[in-house]
Amino acid sequence: MIYILAILLPPLGLLFNGQPLAAIGNVVLLVVCGVLGLLFPGLWAVPSIHAVVSVYMTREDRRHREIVDAIERHGPPPPPSWRR
């Protein structure tokens, strides 16, 4: 759902994902691409691509942090039975 929002309304998608500075940067990017989009129509996709990549990277960072925290709390997982 957050990816659909990031494609359709990039700054709002970034805000809902907890990235206010990226949302401000995306608004600036929207303005620049809006002005230059009159000459180069493909630039309209740049803010959406930025938002989707940013949301994906932030979610991956969170997932990685959760795994590292779990390993620090509970120790590494046991080795598979075939390696014993």
Percent of the chain scoring above 70 in pLDDT: 98
Distance of CA 27 to the CA centre of its chain: 15
Residue (of 7, 13, 50) closest to 28 by Cα position: 50
CB 33 within 8 A of CB 44: yes
pLDDT per residue as tens digits for the range 48-78: 999 999 999 999 999 999 999 999 999 888 8
Exposed (0-12), middle (13-18) or buried (19+): which is 76, by Cβ within 10 Å? exposed
Rounded to whole angstroms, the Cα distance separating 5 from 81 reads: 44
pLDDT per residue as tens digits for the range 16-52: 999 999 999 999 999 999 899 888 888 889 999 999 9
Q: Is 50 left (phi over 0), alpha (psi -120 to 50) or beta?
A: alpha
Task: State both tokens at 42.
Answer: 């493909």
Rounded to whole angstroms, the Cα distance separating 48 from 6 reads: 6
Q: Give pTM, 2 decimals.
A: 0.81
